[in-house]
């Protein structure tokens, strides 16, 4: 199979089935065959035959880094480590009795602005920003009696921040951006991206302003970012603000995904601005004034695929920025790759006829690309496992760290529907529907690999190998997750395929079904008319024919359980540790939003507490595991737009 693509106009020559076809589409006839999703073949082995031809322009000589710049980088790194050490010593003396820090004592480090090229201008006038990774810009959102309405003690712990700081009267002012935070150096990042498969050019942080990086006592780096804090040069025609509705969703889902065990950005706090923001939620001309808010997002890095794409697309001297940005990312977020040696023998055959070999120890950028591909594949597999649909998998929404990032019109599956998309703007082609996510992940990796090829950082063979590893890693992780969900030690393709087909036909609730499945006993003597009793609460309104189909499946399933030799009690505990009872269903979010817009934030806080223990039974909280009520299917609840 051959790939033909460039950063701007990706074109694919298709020859075989997609990743999705290996895990969903063959036995789910309802899944759409969108003209948008790439049908790319990847197989769960390292000896596949993925070939790619690039039509990208030849890199210019500016892609190389000068000796002086390397020397300066090493010098800065040495100075930074010295400064951090001194700061740690000083802060150890300033720590409070509980070992936590005040806002003034946080350990700031600003490696991104120190080590990468910046915009010489610092105004927020919308414009094209060239030859720069960021623009220094101050938060500018207007506030009127801002209030802290939700916060995360666990995120505060990541930063070594004393949770008592949330009680400070000036805390809402600082985290709405109205009052400067001591030590911060605010900036907005420049990046581009493919949106719905089309190159969109410069995008950037249009309403997110990074305050800087915090180094905690474990020397972990955490970026703080205010989303909804005002205009930046990347705001285009928007106002740089965020509404309470979308801010609550991002705040809650960031934390919910973390406690599900899925890599994600985090959220420290949510602050209302006291001002209203005008929005057209469904892009239908019906404007509405909504309460404004700012959410403080936290991540080890907010670098995206698009952070590299924008510079490669511009060519010329900007190709050197791609290399500098890659060096920065490896140095700070993939240091194990920087320290690789030939003795590790990371050489792999590509499976091509000429027996070409990819040696990851000879090119750190190739090893880095492969790791990003595998992290992305693992992330998407985990999404599929819990029924999460991101909704807007543009390349500017793809983290190089393999994190779930940018929570817009996301949604968890209720009734199992592979064609489900929570995004109204995605309805025509359902490019980003649940079933397409594995393919889209690979498509995005292909664009990222093309970017690095354009900058002459990796070869076409290395790019092919990274995409091959995506396919292998996704299938390995996906099959392992599905096996765990049904309580089996080995993947049974036929059993799982039939199960997913049954779920789709009868529109069974995805989350509740797998939770109930753990109640099945490994007892082949159970009478046929009693086999479905443990699933009675989730198999609703099915006729005689469908009952027979389910009974047949349960009989096959029990045979597998008996063969596994695992006790019912052990299997139930294991299954319940991977099948959540509680997920952040859209109607739960909407209930919290409705109350919050009336000034009552207790439901937001209560919902967060429930989502912090998704795998526990949580007596008296069962209502949060119920199926969506009828009102949940009205426009604006289970189908959302990007307007926020």
Catalogue the active-site residues: 396
Look-up: residue for tokens 């991977």? 578
Q: Report the alpha-carbon distance of residue 327 to residue 311 in Å, rounded.
A: 14
Q: Report the alpha-carbon distance of residue 249 to residue 236 in Å, rounded.
A: 24
Quickly list DSSP for 467-478: HHHHHHHHHHHH
Give the Cβ contact number of residue 221 at 10 Å.
18
Return contacts of 287-291, CB within 8 angstroms, 24+ apart. Answer: 290/243, 290/244, 290/245, 290/597, 291/243, 291/244, 291/596, 291/597
| Pairing label, strands 51-54, 2-5 | parallel
With CA atoms as reference, report the closest residue to 124 among 231, 202, 209, 240: 231
Contact, 389 vs 411, CB < 8 A?
A: yes
DSSP bridge pairs for 359: 347
211: burial class by Cβ within 10 Å (0-12, 13-18, 19+)?
buried
For 191, the token pair is 């990046």
For 298, the token pair is 């936290």
Quickly list DSSP for 518-561: TT--S-TTS-GGGTTGGGTTTS-S--HHHHHHHHHHHHHHHHHH
80: burial class by Cβ within 10 Å (0-12, 13-18, 19+)?
middle
Q: Report the alpha-carbon distance of residue 429 to residue 197 in Å, rounded.
A: 11
With CA atoms as reference, report the closest residue to 6 among 453, 457, 458, 470: 453
Contact, 62 vs 456, CB < 8 A?
A: no
Look-up: residue for tokens 């001002």? 275
Backbone region of residue 97 per phi and psi (left: phi > 0; alpha: psi in -120 to 50; beta: other values): alpha
**SS (HEC) of 496-526:** HHHHHHHHHHCCCEHHHHHHHHCCCCCCCCC
Contact, 152 vs 269, CB < 8 A?
A: yes
Q: Report the alpha-carbon distance of residue 544 to residue 320 in Å, rounded.
A: 66
Look-up: residue for tokens 């949106």? 195
Quickly list DSSP for 445-464: HHHHHHHHHHTTSS-HHHHH
> Residue 84 is inside which H or E element, if any?
helix 67-94
DSSP bridge pairs for 213: 109, 223
Please state the φ and ψ torsions of residue 394, each to the nearest 5 degrees.
Answer: -70, 160
Look-up: residue for tokens 């492969």? 370
Quickly list DSSP for 331-350: HHH-HHHHT--GGG--EEE-
User: Angle, to 10 degrees, between the axis of helix 437-454 and the axis of helix 364-386?
Assistant: 160
Contact, 227 vs 208, CB < 8 A?
A: yes
Strands (E), 350-424: 357-359, 388-389, 411-412
């Amino acid at each position: 199979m051959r790939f033909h693509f460039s950063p701007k106009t990706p074109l694919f020559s298709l020859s075989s089935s997609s990743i999705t076809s290996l895990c969903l589409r063959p036995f789910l006839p309802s899944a759409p065959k969108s003209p948008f999703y790439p049908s790319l073949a990847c197989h769960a082995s390292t000896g596949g035959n993925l070939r790619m031809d690039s039509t990208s322009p030849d890199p210019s000589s500016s892609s190389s880094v000068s000796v002086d710049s390397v020397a300066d980088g090493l010098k800065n790194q040495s100075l930074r480590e010295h400064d951090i050490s001194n700061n740690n010593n000083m802060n150890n003396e300033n720590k409070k009795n509980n070992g936590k820090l005040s806002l003034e004592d946080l350990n700031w480090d600003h490696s991104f602005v120190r080590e990468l090229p910046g915009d010489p201008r610092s105004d927020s006038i919308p414009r094209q920003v060239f030859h720069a990774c960021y623009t220094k810009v101050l938060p500018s959102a207007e506030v009127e009696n801002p209030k802290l309405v939700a916060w995360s003690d666990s995120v505060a712990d990541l930063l070594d921040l004393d949770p008592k700081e949330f009680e400070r009267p000036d805390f809402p002012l600082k985290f709405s951006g109205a009052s400067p935070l001591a030590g911060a150096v605010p900036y907005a990042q420049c990046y581009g991206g493919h949106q719905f498969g089309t190159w969109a050019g410069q995008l950037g942080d249009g309403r997110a302003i990074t305050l800087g990086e915090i180094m905690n006592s474990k020397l972990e780096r955490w970026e703080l970012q205010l989303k909804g804090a005002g205009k930046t040069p990347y705001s285009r025609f928007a106002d740089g603000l965020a509404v309470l509705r979308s801010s609550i969703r991002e705040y809650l889902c960031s934390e919910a995904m973390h406690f599900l065990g899925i890599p994600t950005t985090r959220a420290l706090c949510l602050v209302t601005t006291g001002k209203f923001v005008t929005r057209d939620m469904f892009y239908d001309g019906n404007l509405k004034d909504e309460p404004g808010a700012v959410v403080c997002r936290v991540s080890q890095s907010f670098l995206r695929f698009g952070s590299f794409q924008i510079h490669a697309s511009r060519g010329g001297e900007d190709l050197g920025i791609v290399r500098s940005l890659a060096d920065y990312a490896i140095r700070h977020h993939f240091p194990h790759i920087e320290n690789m040696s030939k003795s590790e023998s990371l050489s792999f055959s590509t499976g091509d006829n000429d027996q070409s070999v990819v040696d990851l120890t000879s090119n750190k950028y190739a090893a880095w690309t492969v790791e990003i591909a595998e992290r992305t594949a693992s992330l998407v597999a985990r999404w599929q496992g819990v029924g999460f649909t991101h909704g807007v998998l543009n390349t500017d929404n793809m983290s190089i760290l393999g994190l779930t990032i940018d929570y817009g019109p996301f949604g968890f599956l209720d009734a199992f529907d592979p064609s489900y998309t929570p995004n109204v703007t995605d309805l025509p082609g359902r490019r980003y529907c649940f079933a397409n996510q594995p393919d889209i992940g690979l498509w995005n990796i292909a664009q990222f690999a093309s970017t690095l090829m354009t900058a002459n950082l990796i070869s076409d063979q290395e790019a092919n190998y990274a995409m091959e590893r995506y396919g292998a890693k996704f299938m390995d992780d996906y099959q392992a997750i599905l096996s765990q969900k049904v309580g089996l030690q080995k993947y049974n393709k036929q059993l799982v395929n039939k199960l997913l087909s049954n779920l789709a036909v009868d529109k069974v609730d995805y989350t509740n079904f797998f939770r109930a499945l753990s109640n099945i006993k490994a007892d082949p003597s159970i009478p046929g008319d009693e086999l479905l009793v443990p699933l009675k609460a989730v198999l609703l309104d099915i006729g005689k024919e469908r009952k027979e189909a389910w009974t047949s499946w349960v009989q096959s399933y029990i045979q597998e359980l008996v063969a596994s030799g695992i006790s019912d009690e052990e299997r139930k505990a294991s299954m319940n540790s991977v099948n959540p009872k509680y997920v952040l269903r859209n109607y739960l979010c909407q209930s919290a939003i409705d109350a919050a817009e009336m000034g009552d934030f207790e439901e937001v806080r209560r919902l967060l507490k429930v989502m912090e223990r998704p795998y526990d039974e949580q007596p008296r909280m069962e209502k949060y595991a119920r199926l969506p009520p009828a009102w949940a299917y009205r426009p604006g609840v289970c189908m959302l737009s990007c307007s926020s």
